[in-house]
A = this chain, B = another copy of it.
Amino acid sequence: MNETWVTVVGNVATAPDFRETSSGAAVARFRLATTVRRWDRAREAWTDGNTSFYTVWAWRALAANVAASVSVGEPLLVHGMLKVQERQRKEDGDVGGSARRITADIEAVTIGHDLARGTSAFRRVSQAKPVLSAGSGSTSL
C-alpha cells in the first residue's frame, strides 16, 4: 500500500552491476539519468532542462536479462516503485527544506529499450529454466 510508481525515460549512466546474493537471488543495479527537454519557442528548438538521477534495482529474471542486454549510454524506460530516503541526519543548518542527504532508488518491475531512439531485437527467455546457472561464479554472464 502507498507505493509510488514511476516510469522514467532516460539513459544508462553506469554499467549494470550484476550479482547473486548468498541466497542465490540475482540482482542487477545501475544508474539512470533523465533530462527534461523543453520546446523553446524563441529559438524553435528543443533545449535541455534539469537532469535527474536514479539508482535502478532489478531482481531475478529481469536482473539477468538486463545484464545480458543493457550497456552504458543506451536509452531505456524503467517502470517501478520509487523510494526517496534519508540515509543520514542533516549535516548543516538546512532551513530551506529540500537539500538533504538522500537516495533515490527505483525497484524496477520492468525495463525496456526505448524504441523512440532505435530498434531492438527481442528474444524470449524461458521462465521454466533460469537464464543463469548459479554454478561457477557470482557475477558471470
Chain A positions near chain B (C-beta within 8 angstroms): 1-10, 14, 17, 29-31, 34-38, 41, 46, 50-55, 58, 61-62, 65-66, 68-70, 74-77, 79, 81-87, 96-105, 109-125, 127, 131
Contact = CB atoms under 8 A, between A and B. Distances in A.
Contact of A97 (B4, B14, B52, B117): B14
- Is chain A's binding surface mostly helix, strand, loop or mixed? strand
In the assembly, how many copies of this chain are there? 4
A112 B108 CA distance: 14
Given A83-B52, A87-B99, A120 B124 contact: no
Contacts of A109: 1, 9, 116
A36 B2 contact: yes
B79 A9 contact: yes
27 contacts: A2-B10, A2-B34, A2-B35, A5-B5, A9-B109, A14-B97, A29-B97, A30-B97, A36-B81, A52-B83, A58-B115, A61-B117, A65-B118, A65-B119, A69-B120, A69-B121, A77-B110, A98-B104, A99-B103, A100-B101, A101-B101, A102-B103, A104-B104, A117-B124, A118-B123, A119-B122, A121-B123
